[in-house]
Amino acid sequence: MDDKRDELRRLAAGFRTNLALRARSGTAGVPAGPVRRPASARPAGSEGTAGPAKVDAAGGLAGLRVVRDELGDCQRCKLAQGRKNLVYGVGNPDAHLVFVGEGPGADEDEQGEPFVGKAGQLLTKMIEAMGYERSDVYICNVVKCRPPGNRNPEPDEIAACEPFLKKQLGAIRPRMIVALGKFAAQCLLRDDTPISRLRGTFRSYEGIPLMPTFHPAYLLRDPSKKKEAWDDLKAVIAALRGPGSPPLRT
Ligand code: URA
C-alpha cells in the first residue's frame, strides 16, 4: 500500500515536471497550471451547438449558474424530503476533465459538496496523482440529493435529476468524463455491463470520451483494485495529453 502511494507520488511528480517543461516549450497538451479554458478559447460557434446539452448561449460558469437556478429548491423527486443540502457540483466551470459519481452520502449532504467524505479524500488523491488539483477539474453526481441510507438512486429519481447533469456537462463541455463506479457508468452509458468489464475502455457520452472506472468507495473496500483504476486514469491522462507525448512511467 505504501509502495503504491510512493509510486503514485513519483508518477505525479514526474507528470508535473513533464507538464511544466512542455508548457515552457509551448507543446503541452494539457496546461500545466489550473486547467481553465476561457470562453474565448472555445471553437467559434461552439456555444450552444456542441456538447450534450444546450444551455442557451452560456457555457462555463454562466451556464452552470443557469442550470443551478433552474434546479432551484428542487422538489422534483422524493429525495428532496430527506436532504439537508442539494449537492450540485464543485470545481472548475471550464474543466477539461469531469468526474461523475453516484450521489451524495452523509458527509456530502451535510456540507453541500460532492466527494468530501472518505471516498472523496481518495478521489482527491487520485486527481492529484494525475497531476491536477481538485479545483482544476469538475466533480458532480448523477443525483444531487442523498438517497436515504446510501441506497442506490431509484429510476424516478434518476429520471428527475439526470437532465440537470446533462445540462451541467453541456455547460462545461469537458474534453473527457470519468464515470466513477458501476452506477454512474451504467447510467450515463445506458449499459448494464458490470463495471469490471466496462472499466478500462473509452466510451462516448454524447460525443465526449468517457472512461468508466471503479468508484473510490469500492477501492477503499478492495484496495487490490487500485492498480486497475490507476491504469484507467493513466489512459485518461495520456488521451488528454494527446498523441506524440512521451509515455507515462508505469
Ligand atoms: N459517493 C458518490 O458517488 N458521490 C459523492 O459525492 C460521495 C460519495
> How is the chain split into domains, by residue range?
49-241
At 9, the pLDDT band (50, 70, 90 cuts) reads low
At 242, the pLDDT band (50, 70, 90 cuts) reads confident
Q: Has residue 22 got a pLDDT over 80? A: no
What is the separation, in whole angstroms, between the first and last Cα of the chain? Answer: 16
Q: Has residue 96 got a pLDDT over 70? A: yes
At 203, the pLDDT band (50, 70, 90 cuts) reads very high
Instruction: Please identify, by atom number, the ligand 1 atom nearest to the C-alpha of residue 107.
Output: 7
Model pLDDT, residue 44? 31
Q: Which of 87, 99, 107, 108 to mutate to test the pocket of ligand 1 (most atoms within 8 A of CB)?
A: 108
Q: Has residue 77 got a pLDDT over 60? A: yes
Report the pLDDT averaged over residues 214-233: 98
Of the candidates 109, 239, 237, 98, which has an alpha carbon nearest to the alpha carbon of residue 180?
Answer: 98
SS3 199: coil
Task: Give the distance (Å) from ligand 1 centre to CA of residue 120.
Answer: 7
Q: Has residue 227 got a pLDDT over 60? A: yes
Instruction: Please identify, by atom number, the ligand 1 atom nearest to the C-alpha of residue 101.
Output: 3
Q: What percent of the chain has pLDDT over 70?
A: 74
Q: What is the C-alpha to C-alpha distance for residues 135 and 215, in angstroms, rounded to an integer?
A: 20
Instruction: Please identify, by atom number, the ligand 1 atom nearest to the C-alpha of residue 102.
Output: 3
CA distance to 73, 75, 91, 166, 216, per residue, from 63 (Å): 18, 21, 14, 12, 28
Instruction: Please identify, by atom number, the ligand 1 atom nearest to the C-alpha of residue 215.
Output: 3
Task: Give the distance (Å) from ligand 1 centre to CA of residue 66.
Answer: 23
Q: Which tens digit of pLDDT belongs to each residue from 35-53?
A: 334 333 333 333 333 344 4
Model pLDDT, residue 150? 87
Q: Has residue 196 got a pLDDT over 60? A: yes
Look over the chain and give the mean of its residue pLDDT values, rounded to a whole number: 82
At 240, the pLDDT band (50, 70, 90 cuts) reads very high
Ligand 1, atom 7, residue with closest C-alpha: 115
CB 114 within 8 A of CB 108: yes
Predicted structure pTM score: 0.78
Ligand 1, residues at Cβ distance < 6 Å: 101-105, 108, 114-115, 119-120, 141, 217
pLDDT-wise least confident of 9-18, 61-70, 166-175: 9-18
Per CATH, the number for 49-241 is 3.40.470.10
DSSP string, 119-150: HHHHHHHHHHHTT--GGGSEEEESSSSPPGGG
- Torsions phi, psi for 245 (to 5 deg): -80, 150
Strand partners, 208: 205
Model pLDDT, residue 6? 53
Model pLDDT, residue 18? 39
Q: What percent of the chain has pLDDT over 90?
A: 72
Q: Which of 84, 85, 141, 187 to mutate to test the pocket of ligand 1 (most atoms within 8 A of CB)?
A: 141
Q: What is the C-alpha to C-alpha distance for residues 15 and 129, in angstroms, rounded to an integer?
A: 9
CA distance to 57, 69, 139, 140, 194, per residue, from 48 (Å): 5, 18, 22, 21, 34
